[in-house]
Amino acid sequence: MAIYTEHVSRTFGEYLLIPGLTTKQCTPDNISLRTPLTKFTKNNPEAGMYLNIPFVSAIMQSVSNDTLAIELARNGGLSFIFGSQSVASQAEMVHKVKKFKAGFVTSDSNLTPAHTLADVLALVKKTGHSTVAITDDGNPNGKLLGIVTSRDYRLSTDSRDRKIEEFMTPFAKLTVGKLGITLSEANDIIWEHKLNTLPIIDEQGRLCYFVFRKDYDSHRQNPYELSDKKDKTLLVGAGINTRDYKERVPALVEAGADVLCIDSSDGYSEWQAECLKWIKERYDIPVGAGNVVDEEGFLYLVEAGADFIKVGIGGGSICITREQKGIGRGQATAVIEIAEARDRYFEKTGTYIPLCSDGGIVHDYHMTLALAMGADFLMMGRYFARFDESPTKVLKVGNNYVKEYWGEGSNRAKNWQRYDSGGEEGLTFEEGVDSYVPYAGAMKDNLAVTLGKMKATMCSCGSTDLNHLRKYAKITLVSSTSIVEGGAHDVILKE
Ligand code: RVP
C-alpha cells in the first residue's frame, strides 16, 4: 500500500501570525534581517555565507540577469543568474556583476576616429546616451583616443560625413582618472575641473570606465550592500544543471561566481548527488541543491554535500507541474516539515543547513510567514520580474503597464535540463506558462515597502532578528471565513 503523509498540504495564505510581546527594543531601526545562505557549524557560525536581506532572485530567464543581480546585491540580497543559456553568456553575466563598481560605468557607446557624425547620431539615438568614447578599435576597453559629446558638433551646419577625428575632443585635452581611484576621488576631480564625464584609464591608456557627474547625487546609500569582505565585489550566484556541469561549473568559478545552485523542479535524484560530489571534489564553492518537499529528500541532499536546500515543488506562480505531473506539496507544509528536519539535524550533528523557500509568495506578509515557519531565505520570481531591473521590456496591455514573465518549463524558455528525468533531450510537455505581471517600477522603492512591512510584522511578533522569529513566532491556521474577515468586508468600497 502507498504511504500517506499525515499532514494536509497547506499554503501560506492559510496561516496568520499571532502577535507576541512588543518590547521597547522592537522598533524597525533595530531589526536585523541578516540570515544564513550556506551551511555552518555550531562552533563556527561565521563559516557560512550570509545575506543582509532574506531574498534571492529565481534562476529564470525573465528574472535574473546581471542588471538585476547588481541591484539586488546592492540592496542586500543575491541573484542566481539563470542557467538556461550558453555557458559563455552565463559566465559573462557573472563576470559583469563581479566587475561592477558603483558609479564606475562601462561605456556602452563606442566608436573609432574613422567613423562619421552620422554614426555618432545613430548611436546616440540607439543608446540614449550622449557621451561617446572614441577608442582605437571601437571597443569599450580599447585605447582611449578622445570623446564626443553634443558640445563637439553643430547639427545645423556640420556635414554628416565629417570624420570623428576632425571634431572629437582629443585625448590630449581630456582630464582622466587612473584605474584604482575611489569614487569619491573621481568625484573630487569632476568638481575641481568642472567636468561632466571623467574617463578612467589603465596604465596602457585603455578605457576602463566613465564616472558621470549626473550620477553623483543619485548614488543613494546602500547600507545593506552584499559584497565580498576582501575585494569588495558584489556577491552573485549562478544556476547549474545536472547535465553539463562539467563544462559550466569551471567557467562560472573562473568568472567569479560566489555560490552555485543546482536548479531542478524535482531535486531528489541521484543526478544531484553525483553533481554535488563532482563539484565538491574539485572546487571550494558552496552549492545549493533541490527542490525537495519532504524530510527524506532534504536528508538525501544534505548527506550528498549540499550547502543549502531549496524547498518547493509546483508552488511557483507560472508553474503547472502539479497539474501536469501530479507531484508537489503545499509550500507552507513543505517548509514546516523540512524546517523541523533541519532543526533536528542541527541538534544531532551541529551543522546548520539553511533552507530556501522557493516560489508561491503572493503577498508581502507571506514572506514573513515563510521565514517564521523556518525558511532562512526566500527565492522569488514573480516579485522581481515586475521591476525595472528585470531583463524584460515594459509593455502596455490594455490600460495596464506590464512586464513579461515566463516559466523555465514553458516552451519559451525551453529549459529541459530543469525538468530532465534522464531521458531524451528536450521538453516533452510544458510545466510552465508564459505570462504578464504588473509593472512595479524600481526594485529599491518596492523593497523599501516590502521590508518595511516585514519589519513592522516582526515588531508585532516581538522579534528583532530572524532567528528569534523562527524560534518564537506563534502561527495559527485560519478558516476560509476568517480569511474573508481579514480583508475589507461588509462595506461599499469607494473607487
Ligand atoms: P514565483 O516566485 O511564485 O513566481 O515562483 C518562482 C519559482 O517557480 C522559481 O524559483 C522556480 O522554482 C519555479 N519555476 C520556474 N519556472 C517554472 C516553471 O516553468 N514551471 N517554475
Which residue do the cell numbers 545552485 mark? 261
Ligand 1 centroid from CA 480, angstroms: 26
pLDDT band at 291, cuts 50/70/90?
A: very high
Average pLDDT of the residues in 29-54:
97
What is the predicted pLDDT for the residue at 329? Answer: 96
Is it the case that residue 355 has pLDDT exceeding 70? yes
Span 145-198, pLDDT tens digits: 999 999 999 999 999 999 999 999 999 999 999 998 988 889 899 999 999 999
As a three-state string, the secondary structure of the chain is CCCCCCCCCCCHHHEEEECCCCCCCCCHHHCECCEECCCEECCEHHHCCEECCCEEECCCCCCCCHHHHHHHHHCCCEEEECCCCCHHHHHHHHHHHHHCECCEECCCCEECCCCEHHHHHHHHHHHCCCCEEEECCCCCCCEEEEEECHHHCCCCCCCCCCEHHHHCEEHHHCCCEECCCCHHHHHHHHHHCCCCEEEEECCCCEEEEEEECCHHHHCCCCCCCCECCCCCCECCEEEECCCCHHHHHHHHHHHCCCEEEECCCCCCCHHHHHHHHHHHHHCCCCEEEEEECCHHHHHHHHHCCCCEEEECCCCCCCECHHHHHCCCCCHHHHHHHHHHHHHHHHHHHCEECCEEEECCCCCHHHHHHHHHCCCCEEEECHHHHCECCCCCCEEEECCEEEEEEECCCCCCCCCHHHHCCCCCCCCCCCCECEEEEECCECHHHHHHHHHHHHHHHHHHHCCCEHHHHHHHCEEEECCHHHHHHHCCCCCCCCC
- 407 annotated as a binding-site residue: no
CB of 357 within 6 A of ligand 1: the answer is no
Question: Would you please indicate which residues are annotated as catalytic (active-site) residues?
Answer: 319, 418
Q: How far is the CA of 316 from the centre of ligand 1 (A)?
A: 4
Give tens-digit pLDDT for 113-142.
Answer: 999 999 999 999 988 889 999 999 999 999
Q: Which of the four pLDDT bands, split at 50, 70 and 90, describes residue 25?
A: very high
Q: Is 319 annotated as a binding residue?
A: yes
Q: Does 218 score more than 80 pLDDT? A: no
Rounded alpha-carbon distances, angstroms, from residue 173 to 108, 168, 193, 428: 22, 10, 12, 62
- Give yes or no for residue 432 CB within 6 A of ligand 1: yes
Q: What is the pLDDT of residue 177?
A: 95
Domains and CATH numbers, the chain: 12-102+225-482 (3.20.20.70), 104-216 (3.10.580.10)
The answer to the question of whether 313 is labelled as a binding residue is yes
CA of 432 to the centre of ligand 1 (A): 8
Strand partners, 57: 79, 380
Query: Which residue of 81, 319, 414 sits with most ligand 1 atoms within 8 Å of its CB, as the best mutation to test the pocket?
Result: 319
pTM of the model: 0.86
Candidate from 84, 329, 358, 366 with most ligand 1 atoms within 8 A of CB, to mutate: 358
pLDDT score for 183: 83
In this prediction, residues 404-430 reach a mean pLDDT of 85
Q: Quick one: pLDDT band at residue 217, thresholds 50, 70, 90?
A: low
Section 245-274 average pLDDT: 97
| Residue 83 annotated as binding site | no
Lowest mean pLDDT among 132-136, 406-410, 419-423, 476-480: 419-423
What average pLDDT score do residues 432-456 get?
97
pLDDT at res. 231 = 78
Q: Is 430 in the pocket of ligand 1 (CB under 6 A)?
A: no
| Average predicted confidence (pLDDT) for the chain | 94
83 lines ligand 1 (CB under 6 A): no
The distance of Cα 329 from the centroid of its chain, to the nearest Å, equals: 25
Q: List, for residues 452-463, the tens digit of each pLDDT value.
A: 999 999 999 999
Is residue 359 over pLDDT 80? yes
Taking the centre of ligand 1 as the mean of its atom positions, its distance from the CA of residue 85, in whole angstroms, is 17
pLDDT of residue 418: 86
- What is the model's pLDDT at position 96? 94
pLDDT of residue 219 exceeding 80, the answer is no
> With a cut of 0.85, is the ipTM above it?
yes
pLDDT top residue among 417 and 311: 311
pLDDT for the residue numbered 11:
96
